[in-house]
Amino acid sequence: MKKRILVSQLVTLALLIAARPESWPLFWAGLFVMALGQAVRLAASAAIVKSKTLTVTGPYAAVRNPLYLGTMLMTAGLLLMLSAPSLPPRTAGLWAFAAAAFGWIYYVTIKAEEVFLLSVYGAEFERYKTSAPAILPSPRGLAGFFDLASYSAEVFRKNKEWRGMSAAFALAAFVAARIKYGF
C-alpha cells in the first residue's frame, strides 16, 4: 500500500482525538509495550538490507515482518495508554477501530510485498515463507534476535529508525500531558 504511512498517521490521529486517557497505570503498561515494540523495530532496522538481499537472519529468522510486528506492539502500547477504565465502550471502540484499520493496512501491505519478493527472489522466498511466519514470531527462530552478526550499525543508520522512535516519544509525551492535565 503506497499510502500506508499516511493512512497509519491519520488512524493514529483519529485515535488520539477520540480517546480520553485517564490512567497512569495503563500509561506505564502501555509505555512498556511500546518500548518493546520499538526494540523489535530497532533490531529489525539494524538487520534488513533493503532492496539488496532477502534478509533471513536476526529478527527475520523468527518472523518475516519484524518491523510490522514492532509497529503492532507499539500500537498496542499506545492503545493501552489511551484506554479509559471509566469509559469501557469508548475504549473497546478504539481497540476495534485500530484492529480493523491496522489489520487492513498491514494485510494489504504484506500481500503486496510478498508478490514483489516472490518476483525478485522466487524459490528462495518460497523456502523462507515456509520457515518464518508472517507476523507472529516462531519460537525456533527467536535465537536470531540474539545473533549479533546479523546486525550492522551502518544499516541501522541508513534505515533511519530514529524517526519512528522520535514519533513514539512524542506520542507518549502527548498522552502523558493529556492524563496529567485532563484534556
- pLDDT single digits (tens) 42-94: 999 999 988 778 999 999 999 999 999 999 999 999 999 999 999 999 999 99
**By C-alpha distance, which of 49, 6, 66, 35 is closest to 159?**
49
The count of structural domains within the chain is 1
Give the number of C-alpha atoms closer than 13 A to the C-alpha of residue 156, restricted to the C-beta side: 14
Structural domain containing residue 120: 4-181
Chain position carrying cell 497509519: 8
**Domain of residue 133, CATH code:** 1.20.120
Q: Indicate whether 1 pLDDT > 70.
A: no
Helix 24-47 to helix 162-181 angle (10° resolution) is 180
